[in-house]
Amino acid sequence: MEYIDVPYTACFKETVAALDEPGCLLVTQGNEGYLNAMVIGWGTIGAIWNKAIFIVMVRPSRFTYQLLEEGSAFTVCVPAPDMRPIIDVCGSKSGRSHDKFRELNLSTVPSTQISVPGIAGSSVIYECQPVHFNDLQPEALTAQIQERFYPQGDFHRVYFGEILAVRALAGQAQQT
């Protein structure tokens, strides 16, 4: 399985489509090397501070939040169609009680710019180093969003990840 470097804008449509359905995989790593993957459905990509930025949002209740707070970098992995079973497990179990990489026998792809790897077979892998975070301000959310997504609070922390590399599976790179 060969990956090639692509511009950070190259796979935007594919990435946004995957966020919507079935979700992308956000991979983080604990200090002892323990890997975790959660499913994310939201994110934005663009340029801030003259850097390519991938914004992801994680609720404080998540195990991924703990790893990010401990200083983990992260990859965002766009799943290939055959990775649906991985999405199902990663979206329903917590890394606190399940070693998802071991249970799913996931192979990793070493990253080129960060220590956290991607998941082998992903069609696109974004390598991201957090450069900022801030928090949603409940009083500045519309009532509709509050009611629909935050009935119990647990407001997302917003992580701004500098995209240091984007790698696409050779032969599948969408050059649009």
Which one, of 45, 102, 32, 103, lies nearest residue 78 by Cα? 45
Tokens of 128: 């991201």
CA atoms within 13 A on the CB side of 54: 29
Q: How far apart are the two ends of the chain, measured CA to CA in Å?
A: 22
Give yes or no for residue 152 binding a copy of itself (CB under 8 A): no
- From 14-22, 99-107, 109-117, 165-173, give the range in contact with a copy of itself by CB under 8 A: 14-22
Q: What pairing do the DSSP bridges indicate for beta strands 124-135 and 51-58?
A: unpaired
Give yes or no for residue 154 binding a copy of itself (CB under 8 A): no
Nearest CB to a copy of itself, comparing residues 1 and 48: 48
Give yes or no for residue 95 binding a copy of itself (CB under 8 A): no
Tokens of 76: 């965002």
Smallest separation (angstroms) from a copy of itself to the CB of 148 = 7
Binding flags for a copy of itself, 45-64, as an x/- string (CB under 8 A): xxxxxx--x-x-x-------
- From 7-15, 74-82, 90-98, 105-113, give the range in contact with a copy of itself by CB under 8 A: 7-15
- From 28-36, 44-52, 59-67, 109-117, give the range in contact with a copy of itself by CB under 8 A: 44-52
* CA separation for the pair 167, 125 (Å, rounded): 5
Which one, of 159, 157, 110, 164, lies nearest residue 130 by Cα? 159
Question: Which of 102, 103, 115, 132 forms a contact with a copy of itself (CB under 8 A)?
Answer: 132
**Taking the CB of residue 61, how many other CB atoms lie within 10 A of it?**
12
Nearest CB to a copy of itself, comparing residues 106 and 163: 163
Determine the longest span between alpha carbons in the chain, in angstroms: 47
Residues near a copy of itself (CB under 8 A): 9, 12-13, 16-17, 19-20, 41-50, 53, 55, 57, 131-137, 140-142, 145, 148-149, 158, 176
